[in-house]
Amino acid sequence: MIDGAFLSGPDEVASALDALDGGDAVSLPLLDDDVRRRLLAAAENAEYRPARSMVGRGDSMVRQDMEVCVDFADDSPFHGFARRFEALVRAAVDRLAHNPFPGPLCLDDLVLQRYEPGALGISAHRDSLRYINLAALFTLAGEARFALCQDRSGRASRDIDAAPGTVILLRAPGYRATDRRPFHLVSDIRSRRISFGLRQLSG
């Protein structure tokens, strides 16, 4: 388990959750350097496989150029980290006037993504309908562009801070009783980027 305090507490996370109403995604500092380095060490020892280069078809096609890890051993530090972060979000929800989630928050889908310098990244896309409530995307290392946009062409894009140590909170269906799934992309990979994602499966 990864110990150490988060850089943002329940009050800051509560403000970020409120900000999702108008912004779809919010970035805030979360990981101190010690915690980030320990997670990064675990991520660098993970076993990755190439992601499918194309997902979907026709106008819904998404292009991907990265590697992924979705298999985590029972003793992986990412499990304990996920539980600690989920507890932080629940404490933040207790500070809100209304719970934004329709049911219990359970961030049970874990994924590591690794991008090499110069890689395409991921073209503009929306997360799968399998996911609900919230996505949390942690940057463990690397410089790259993360942006929200209006459609698959990347129109009207808006950059979101994805510096190492940040977490990007992205709304998912169910949040505030809506079905919004914001388009987003990862591009301009300037140094090896490793990110860790937490999501909630609808089933």
Which helix (DSSP H) or strand (DSSP E) does residue 77 occupy?
helix 77-93
User: For tokens 């388009």, what's the residue?
Assistant: 183
- So what's the pLDDT on residue 58? 75
Instruction: Tell me which of 16 and 22 has the higher pLDDT.
Output: 16
Decide: helix, strand or coil at residue 50: strand
- So what's the pLDDT on residue 56? 80
- The mean of the pLDDT values for the chain is 94
Percent of the chain with pLDDT over 90: 91
- So what's the pLDDT on residue 5? 77
- So what's the pLDDT on residue 2? 53
* Mean pLDDT of the 155-170 span: 97
Q: Range with the lowest mean pLDDT among 1-5, 117-121, 129-133, 170-174?
A: 1-5
- So what's the pLDDT on residue 1? 47
Distance CA 174, CA 188 (A): 31
Which helix (DSSP H) or strand (DSSP E) does residue 12 occupy?
helix 10-23
- So what's the pLDDT on residue 4? 67
Strand-pair partners of 63:
54
Q: Is 2.60.120.620 the CATH number for 10-201?
A: yes
Residue 117 confidence (pLDDT) above 70:
yes
DSSP assigned state of 72: -
